[in-house]
Amino acid sequence: MTKKPVIAIDGFSSTGKSSISKVIAKTLGLIHLDTGALYRGITFFALQNCLDENQKLDFKKLMQNLPIIKLEFQNVDGELQLFLNGQNINKEIRFPQVSDNVSQVAKEAEVRNFLLETQRNIAKQGGVIMDGRDIGTVVLPNADYKFFMTASPDERAKRRFVELQTAGEKTDIETVKQNLNTRDKIDSEREVSPLKQADDAILIDNTNLNKEQTINLIMSYII
96-120: per-residue pLDDT in tens? 999 999 999 999 999 999 999 888 9
1 located within any domain? no
218 located within any domain? yes
204 located within any domain? yes
Q: How many domains does one find in the chain?
A: 1
For residues 36 and 141, give the distance between their C-alpha atoms in angstroms, rounded to a whole number. 17
pTM over 0.85: no
194 located within any domain? yes
Burial (CB < 10 A; 0-12, 13-18, 19+), residue 46, is buried
Return the CATH number at 98: 3.40.50.300
47-98: per-residue pLDDT in tens? 999 999 999 999 999 999 999 999 988 888 877 889 999 999 999 999 999 9
For residues 54 and 220, give the distance between their C-alpha atoms in angstroms, rounded to a whole number. 51
Expressed as residue numbers, the domain containing 194 is 6-222
Compute the Cα dihedral for 163, 99, 151, 217 and give only its sign.
negative
37 located within any domain? yes
135-187: per-residue pLDDT in tens? 999 999 999 999 999 999 999 999 999 989 998 888 999 999 999 999 999 99
